[in-house]
Amino acid sequence: MRVRAICNAEESEFPFRIGSRENGCWAYSLEGRELILFEWKNYWLDADNAENVVIPGLPKSEIEKYPPADNVFEFIFKNYIGKSRLIIDFQDGSRMEFPVTVLSEKLAMMKGILNVTEEYVPVLIDTFNKFAEKLTGDISRMSLALNFSIESPTVFTVEEGDEPVNELFAYHYFKYNRDRIPEAFETVMNRIKRKLVLEEGLLDLHDVDEVNLDMLVSILHHPEYLVKARDRVLIAKYLKGHTPTKVLGYRRYETEDTPENRFVKYFLNLLIEWSQRVLDTSMLNNNRDGEAEFIEFLNELEFIATNPLWDEVGEMTLFPYSSRILLKGDGYRDLLQLYREFTAYIPFFSELQRAIDNKDIATLYEYWVFFRLVEKLGEILSLKRSKIYVNLTGELSDKGNVYAEFENGWRLYYNRKLTPKRWSYTVSLRPDFSLFNGNPDSLNSEVELIGVFDAKFKLDIVGLNSEDIEEFDEYGADFERTANYETWAKLEDIYKMHTYKDALGCKFAVAIYPGINSIFWKSSKENVENFTLMDLLDEYGVKLTGIGYISFNLLNN
């Protein structure tokens, strides 16, 4: 792995100069092709004749031109570790794009590196990749073990794509619709719709259904088809003893090659393709029963595809959205609904796939915490059969479209917006995870918000020393980023937990982070150190009220 410092370098492998306004060097080149940058560092970039700089994920307001130079830009990655891109638009209309990996001093702290220099960058890259792989591996393992319910709305208004989001969604979709999919195809094949075709052309005389003027004229135009009549044929009387072998005529017949059946065939092949893609991944390697069930499902689909009736059906070129058969026909309407669910835009899985592709550590950690919370709460509440409901609402709505429900009726919502009057007495708040003792959309006044959790991938924290805590307000964010203490939840997040608890009137608000320590401040102003979720609540209800932070460290998971 060849890494070279390029801070303030006049010549580098890139057609621009880059540097950091921080002390030390914070810009590197990996193999001469990829930029290695760090979060929370103020960068300047100087590119001749540059018109604009775009970094996906960074708002335009975070990328500024540096006056008076028109070709110098400044930017900073805040609270982001992962993959990105640097896009430069030049004045001549050309564009250049460069891959970027954003690292953090947090990764150095995890490896005991106090001063990041060029020699340690490969170590941080390796740590970053292993951390991302561990997160995605755990997310896959935990999500496969949980039951998902893919619920669709009564009216479909969600955005549709050409194919599903990823293999993880496809797996849960197939698992949830294990019986529904084959049944819909069987119904279509048993009640397949055909269309009557009237075909015009030169036909054998015995295939002609009726005699008309066009047919008689065609005999005169095609004398090459006239032959001596051996038998007594009435028409030979008028053709000097000849009879035509072919005439222009019309033939009526039924065919399965309809737009609706082309859609059915297309969807069948799409399901087979994605079933195979799921099996080709390592998702089911440690789940023999799940793999066997999935192979059986794939075999069913392939058996349906071998039916001879599909031989006559052509390839779909236009989607027959307005077809009454597709909207109303038995089996067809079920397959249309299944297709819409399969290709719907689902933020929960879409954002997860984006985070996996970009190795967005903070977002991956948030998903990991959600699945981990569902597992842990199920164990604590002595309710093993929890289920995660994903409602296809098209986007994260105020009601929240993803939640885990436990057997006792409690629900853990992912990213639910808690609005004023109903839940908050001030402004709308959106904690990462909200725990209710029932359905918050019901009119039941006994449904309460029990508590909230917030996932925070933050390691550069202060210690327990009270003097350090007091100094936090004086030194602010710089103190947070540079202090080399034991890993504790950031004080700003502790303040936020106070905000949640007070504004929402819940019993507890807890920040979850990948550190090594946990502490809870009870409403009685007593501290509970090294506390766990089992100290917080049990199957009978909440045991502690107050705010705190708890360690969910996947490296020790």
Domain with 282, as residue range(s), is 160-192+259-343
pLDDT digits (tens, 9 = 90+) for 115-138: 888 889 999 999 899 889 989 888
Q: Please state the rounded mean pLDDT for residues 433-444.
A: 88
Give yes or no: residues 244 and 282 share one domain.
no
Q: Please state the rounded mean pLDDT for residues 56-67.
A: 79
Task: Select the more confidently predicted residue: 197 or 44.
Answer: 44
Residue where one domain finishes, among candidates 343, 360, 380: 343
What are the two backbone dihedrals, phi and then psi, of residue 233, each rounded to the nearest 5 degrees?
A: -115, 130
Q: Please state the rounded mean pLDDT for residues 311-318.
A: 90
Distances (CA, A) of 180 to 177, 184, 274, 337, 533: 5, 6, 17, 11, 38
Q: Please state the rounded mean pLDDT for residues 524-546.
A: 85
**Is the Cβ–Cβ distance between 35 and 98 less than 8 Å?**
yes
Domains held by the chain: number: 4
Q: What is the C-alpha separation between 218 and 202, in angstroms, rounded? A: 9
pLDDT for the residue numbered 508: 93
SS (H, E, C) 424-450: ECCCCECCCEEEECCCCCCCCCCCCEE
Max Cα distance, the chain (Å)? 121
Residue where one domain finishes, among candidates 255, 276, 297: 255
Q: What is the C-alpha separation between 506 and 363, in angstroms, rounded? A: 25
Give yes or no: residues 239 and 388 share one domain.
no
pLDDT for the residue numbered 393: 54
pLDDT score of 548 more than 80: yes
Q: What is the C-alpha separation between 203 and 218, in angstroms, rounded? A: 11
Is there a domain that residue 139 lies in? Answer: no
Give yes or no: residues 350 and 328 share one domain.
no
pLDDT digits (tens, 9 = 90+) for 251-274: 777 788 899 999 999 999 999 999
Q: Sign of the CA dihedral 351, 353, 358, 364? A: positive
Give the start-end residues of each E strand in 168-281: 195-204, 226-228, 242-244, 246-255
Is there a domain that residue 268 lies in? Answer: yes
Coil, strand or helix at 452: strand
Is there a domain that residue 287 lies in? Answer: yes
Task: Name beta bridge partners: 30.
Answer: 3, 34
Is there a domain that residue 137 lies in? Answer: no
Is there a domain that residue 399 lies in? Answer: yes
- Match 């119904």 to its residue by tokens: 187
**Cis preceding linkage at 68, omega within 30:** yes
Cα of 542 vs its chain's centroid, Å? 33
Give yes or no: residues 338 and 351 share one domain.
no
Give yes or no: residues 471 and 400 share one domain.
yes
Q: What is the C-alpha separation between 305 and 241, in angstroms, rounded? A: 53
Give yes or no: residues 508 and 385 share one domain.
yes
Coil, strand or helix at 340: helix
Written as six digits, the tokens of 154 are: 């009564």
pLDDT for the residue numbered 105: 85
Per-residue pLDDT band for 396 (boundaries 50, 70, 90) equals: very low
Mean pLDDT of the chain: 81
Written as six digits, the tokens of 116 are: 């990041």
Residue where one domain finishes, among candidates 317, 343, 369: 343
Give yes or no: residues 67 and 208 share one domain.
no
Q: Where are the alpha helices (DSSP H) in 56-120?
A: 105-110
Is there a domain that residue 501 lies in? Answer: yes
pLDDT for the residue numbered 88: 92
Half-sphere exposure of 252 (CA within 13 A, CB side): 4
Written as six digits, the tokens of 37 are: 């940058």
Give yes or no: residues 16 and 83 share one domain.
yes
Is there a domain that residue 82 lies in? Answer: yes
CATH number assigned to the domain comprising residue 27 = 2.60.40
Task: Select the more confidently predicted residue: 253 or 424.
Answer: 424
Cβ burial of 544 (10 Å; 0-12, 13-18, 19+) is: buried
Give yes or no: residues 373 and 313 share one domain.
no
pLDDT for the residue numbered 366: 93
Give yes or no: residues 237 and 166 share one domain.
no
pTM above 0.85, yes or no: no
Give yes or no: residues 242 and 377 share one domain.
no
**Is the Cβ–Cβ distance between 536 and 506 less than 8 Å?**
no
Is there a domain that residue 493 lies in? Answer: yes
pLDDT for the residue numbered 94: 92
Nearest-10 crossing angle of helices 259-280, 288-305: 150
Give yes or no: residues 309 and 455 share one domain.
no
Q: What is the C-alpha separation between 25 and 57, in angstroms, rounded? A: 24
